[in-house]
A = this chain, B = another copy of it.
Amino acid sequence: MSFSEFYERKFLVLLSALVTSRYNLPNMLIKDLGEFGTIEVINQLISSSRSKEMDSVQHLVIDSGDDSAGWSPHGTTELITTDTVVEDIHFTSESISWHDLGWKVLASNISDIASMGAYPSYAVVTLGLPPETEINDITELYTGMLSIANKYQVSIIGGDMVRSTQIFISITLTGTTSKEPLLRSTANAGDVIAVTGYLGGSAGGLRLIQQSVNVSQASQDYLLTAHRMPTPQVESGRVLVDCDIRTAMDISDGLADDLSKLCLASEVSATIYLNKVPTHSLVKSSFPETYIELALYGGEDYELLFTGNITAVNEAIQLLPEGACIIGEITDSTPGVISLVGEDGSERVATRQGWDHFT
């Protein structure tokens, strides 16, 4: 989930004020505001209409804006997240098989629960499909979903199936934790920043599919698996909580974009040292010129990005099942701004590349 992310855009706040005070926004289209701008307008509308007396609001502990939202009626925190993919926008029939699509869309939801330090539990699955869809394709899709569901103890307990011209798959997943959930909004200047695993593999896989780059069989296997069957970091999320880490999110839109969102939510900035960003040797050898761009802006790695004091982060690194790397630190400059420091000490600001499909 990515609601409420760009609070710094003053013009959107103004716009939202206009909306909620019932002025019209003549001829303004989603493609003018973009996904995050539109979501900001929606969020203002929601928060301005919400009554504090509502029973449900009283238990709400994590509102929209984090990887999952959560409520806590009796000690345990219940979480919910939702993620949708649309054919020709998020995937094509050439980029992924039905089986792997099933795996991947559930993986991306599980990742949003994992990044809260919680365990996933129940999923409902909505399919938008043309009547000409083959039943075999649907059983393949579910076989992929069920493989990852069983691996992470997720039960698919319902859903909806609707007719549509363009294929879409929408999953809503719940999760639960008895501990303090990991948030985006708790980073402090002075925290070190770390990531689990390697970055850029998924984007490398997509590039391989789109541009038929000539790489070794081992690289091909690594890159395509990273793109098509990513691994959500459920155990890593739990380890972070146990090490008293408070701040984390999953990397779905790319390190630079996601770290910027985390910084905006925490009203801080960050510095990243490019030579510390972890990239797999097969990504480096396949894309020697561009691997760092893939790692910074690629997205869909579903690794965890976390911050904390150096002691807690080092303790976590020792205990994380696949390790982690410290890549930089949280600073108190302009909220959301990410500085990239090269090996030669040169510094530049990360451009937001992101994945706004509307603009």
Contacts and interface: CB of A to CB of B under 8 A. Distances in A.
Contacts of A172: 80, 82, 124, 172
Nearest to A157: B69
B135 A28 contact: yes
Interface in A155-206: 155-166, 168, 170, 172, 174, 176
Contact of A55 (B28, B143, B153): B153
Given A39-B161, A150-B51, A134 B69 contact: no
A334 B60 CA distance: 47
Interface in A103-142: 119, 121-122, 124, 126, 128-136, 138-139, 142
A38 B159 CA distance: 13
B168 A128 contact: yes
A1 B156 CA distance: 13
A312 interface: no
A334 to B, nearest CB: 27
A19 to B, nearest CB: 5
A3 B159 contact: yes
Interface residues of A, number: 90
A69 B124 contact: yes
A124 B41 contact: no
A135 B41 contact: yes
A353 to B, nearest CB: 17
Interface stretch (A83-91, A214-222, A238-246, A303-311): A83-91
Interface of A: 1-3, 19, 24-33, 35, 38-39, 41-42, 45-46, 49-51, 54-57, 60, 63-64, 68-69, 71, 73-74, 76, 78, 80-86, 89-90, 119, 121-122, 124, 126, 128-136, 138-139, 142-143, 146, 149-150, 153-166, 168, 170, 172, 174, 176, 357-359
Considering the complex of A and B, which 4 residue pairs feature the smallest CB-CB distances, nearest first? A31-B131, A172-B172, A69-B157, A64-B158
